[in-house]
Structures are given as C-alpha cells and as structure tokens.
Amino acid sequence: MPDTKPLGELLVSKRLITPAQLAAALAEQRSTKEFLGTLLIRKGWLAKDALLQSLAEQLGIAYMHLDPQGVDWAVAAKFSPAVVQEHRCLPIAMDRQSVTVAVVNPLEVWGIGQIEQKAGGRRVRVVLVSEEEFTGAMPTYRQKVRAHVPGARPS
C-alpha cells in the first residue's frame, strides 16, 4: 500500500535523514530545482538504495535489484526494443495473469502504457530498479533479444 506522505517526510519518519537535513535540502532545492532524492544523495545524506526503497514504498510498488540472470529474455523479446531502451521499461517475467516490468522511473507512463497494450490483457506489475542496474542489463538485453528474434541484426 502506498505511503501518502511527501518523500521528505517519509525519509524523516524512517530516520534516514534528520528534519534539519530535510529543511536544508528543501531550501536548496528551491534554487537548484533538483529532485529531492538526487540532492540528498549528492550531499551524502542518503544512500541511493535507501532512496529507491523509500520511493517504492511511497508509490506502493516493489523495489528489486535487477539481476540479468533472473530475467526471462524470451519475455523481454516480445516487447518493443524502443520501449525498453528509450523508456527504460524492461519486461522481466510473465505468467497467465501478469507481466512484471522493471522500470527506472515508475512515473514513465507512456512506456508502461505501451507494455500494457502488448500484454494481452495481463496486469502489468511495475518494480523499481536502479538506473545503474538497468543500464548494466542492456548489453545482455541486446544480445539475448537478438537470439529470440528471427532475422534480427546486431545493433
């Protein structure tokens, strides 16, 4: 279930940052226009993993570490490479009821919507992954998807 608190309040309630750090970051954010989490990480006040776990909690979705060995590459090959690469939405598993999609930005509604259209009536289950892990999986994605798409050429 989502936590409806603003991110900063959630981080304070979880004791990941102090109220003083939140106040300082919010004051700086007004001039820099950075995302709060990015600013807190840059200042060294918050670990990236803690931010991602908190964002997932706030949005009511799962956070996971993306392991290329745990991806069903045949499933990934069924979806548009443009959606996967440009919108950073990687289908990683599918069963009769749902498709699990690893995303860097869970608010990337266009890419997620494209996967929903191609999911054959299955529910799309979004999981949050780090940008670094997603990027790290892309060489394997390109290699494995070529193996599943007849006539595909290397990119």
Interatomic CA distance for residues 85 and 102, integer angstroms: 12
pLDDT for position 4: 82
Is 63-148 assigned to CATH 2.60.40.10? Answer: no
| pTM assigned to the model | 0.85
Interatomic CA distance for residues 58 and 103, integer angstroms: 15
Q: 3-class SS at 119?
A: coil
Q: 3-class SS at 152?
A: coil
Interatomic CA distance for residues 105 and 152, integer angstroms: 28
Interatomic CA distance for residues 53 and 35, integer angstroms: 16
Rounded average pLDDT over 137-153? 76
* Closest to 143 (Cα-Cα) out of 135, 151, 154, 133: 154
Residue 154 scores a pLDDT above 50: no
pLDDT in tens, 88-141: 999 999 999 999 999 999 988 899 999 999 998 999 999 999 999 999 999 999
pLDDT in tens, 29-80: 999 999 999 999 999 999 999 999 999 999 999 999 999 999 999 999 999 8
pLDDT for position 149: 58
pLDDT in tens, 6-31: 999 999 999 999 999 999 999 999 99
Q: How many CB atoms lie within 10 A of CB 25?
A: 23
Tell me how far CA of residue 13 lies from CA of 16, 62, 128, 144, in angstroms: 8, 19, 21, 42
Q: 3-class SS at 93?
A: strand
Ramachandran angles phi, psi of 135, nearest 5°: -60, -40
Q: Are 80 and 111 in contact (CB under 8 A)?
A: no
